[in-house]
Amino acid sequence: MMPRPATVLGLAAALVLIAGCDDMTKQKKQNPYASRATAPGEVPAGTVAYGEISAPVPPVTMALLERGQTEYHVFCAPCHAETGDGHGMIVQRGFPAPPPLAAERPQFVYDVITNGRGVMYGFAQRIAPEDRWAVVAYVHALQRSQHMMVADLTPEQRVAP
């Protein structure tokens, strides 16, 4: 016996309505980090991350120094303080005080930013290589600004306010 047309129509309408129950805001997709079993494993020692390959040292420009100032403010100033004297807010709250920033070889400063030193953690994951060079340049400028002699200034700089 055939079902009545009204029944067929009713069922069809119900199918259309049921489609509205699908919540597309959450969809099935793979998240490899959701489980320890599928997450990317430990990185073998000595592996160089993409983007971490040694790039040439960028030339010092005003833009580089400004970038270095920003990155220094974000990542270094909490401990080293904006002046570099090592009495930043985190040090005031109990972190061992770092020595005041001293004149060091650029490569040394770069390596300390990358790998850390003593109780200082490395910032390789947080500061990109070109930004590390920017910080190195800014730290150098910061030191020069604090040990500037009048004799080092050009005549134009001396009359400037």
Partner 1 sequence: MAAVFSPRANVIVAVAMLGAVGAVVGLCLWWFAWPRSDYVRHVGWAIQQPVPFSHQHHVAGLGIDCRFCHSSVERSAQASLPPTFTCMTCHSRIWTNAALLAPVRDSLTEDRPIAWARVTDVPDYVYFNHSIHVSKGVGCGSCHGNVARMPLTFKAKTLTMQFCLDCHRNPGPNLRPLAHVYDMDWHPDHATPSPADLMRAYHIGGRNLTECSLCHR
Site residues (vs partner 1, CB under 8 A)? 24-27, 29, 33, 36, 73-75, 78, 89-90, 93-96, 119, 121, 125-128
Is the Cβ of residue 61 or residue 157 nearer to partner 1 in the bound state?
61
- Which residue's CB is nearer to partner 1, number 22 or number 152? 22
Rounded to a whole number of angstroms, the minimum distance from the CB of residue 140 to partner 1 is 22
The number of beta carbons lying within 10 Å of the beta carbon of residue 60 is 16
Listed in sequence order, the DSSP H helices in 50-127 are 62-71, 77-80, 89-92, 106-115
Main-chain phi, psi angles of 38, to 5 degrees: -105, -10
User: Which CB atom, from 125 or from 154, has the smaller least distance to partner 1?
Assistant: 125
Contact 117, 128 (CB under 8 A): no
Q: Whose Cβ is closer to partner 1: residue 26's or residue 158's?
A: 26
Q: Tell me how far, at minimum, the Cβ of 81 lies from partner 1, in Å.
A: 11
Q: How far is the CB of 74 from partner 1 (least distance, A)?
A: 4
Q: In a 3-state reduction of DSSP, which class is residue 145?
A: helix
Single-letter residue type at 156: E
Calculate Rg over the CA atoms of the chain: 29
Indicate the residue among 73 and 144 with the shorter CB distance to partner 1. 73
Q: Shortest gap between Cβ of 25 and partner 1 (angstroms)?
A: 4
Give 56: exposed, middle or buried? Use CB within 10 Å, 0-12, 13-18, 19+: exposed
Task: For the CB of residue 103, give the shortest distance to partner 1 in the complex, in Å.
Answer: 25
Which is nearest to 115 in space by CA: 96, 99, 104, 129?
129
